[in-house]
Amino acid sequence: MISEQQPLPSIDLQAMTENGPITLNSDQLFKDKKVVLFAVPGAFTPTCSAAHLPGYVALAEDLKAKGVDDIYCTSVNDVFVMHAWGQASGSPDVKMLADGNGKFAATLGLDMDAQGFNMGNIRSKRYAMIVDNGVVSHLAIDAKGLDQSSAEAVLAKL
């Protein structure tokens, strides 16, 4: 599992543009920036939609005031679902990144088997990290609930 002070691996993710889906490499997404990345088990799921994403939407300006250049949300969902969820959130400040096959989550060692929840065998754990120029400076993983990876918790670490 990735830990603090380690660089993020070079992995492709997808994002939606007005011209359709594009592939972005993590190297380009995190280079020369301070980024908050948070991950959820699934777009449009209860805790993710009611609390996790809305917290980052509400505190986006506060995070940016602390020197954060970008806020990314990722999930093991396809780019079309992530795009629709981003539109439903009403915030252009949180950029949605699709990890459709779960390769990013698995490479980080932050994947989980969610068959017990009827969500498939590869999902992302709920976590948040602060990434400085591609290196993880803070990592918080929630075993249950949302206390470690919430926007409030990450803001307190900046």
Span 63-114, pLDDT tens digits: 999 999 999 999 999 999 999 999 998 778 999 999 999 999 999 999 976 6
Residue 82 lies in a domain: yes
Residue 17, class by beta-carbon neighbours within 10 Å (0-12 exposed, 13-18 middle, 19+ buried)?
exposed
Closest among 129, 48, 117 to 89, alpha carbons compared: 48
Q: Token digits for 80?
A: 């079309």
Instruction: Give the end-to-end CA distance of the chain in Å, rounded to a whole number.
Output: 23
What pTM does this model have? 0.94
Residue 34 lies in a domain: yes
Supply the DSSP symbol for 27.
H
Residue 136 lies in a domain: yes
Lowest mean pLDDT among 48-52, 103-107, 123-127: 48-52
Would residue 73 show up in a list of annotated catalytic residues for this protein?
no
The catalytic residue among 13, 36, 39, 48 is 48
Residue 5 lies in a domain: no
pLDDT tops 80 at residue 117: no
Residue 2 lies in a domain: no
Domain that holds residue 103: 12-157
Count of CA atoms in the C-beta half-sphere (13 A) of 139: 16
Q: How many domains is the chain partitioned into structurally? A: 1
Span 25-37, pLDDT tens digits: 999 999 999 999 9
CB 36 within 8 A of CB 63: yes
CATH code: domain of residue 60 = 3.40.30.10
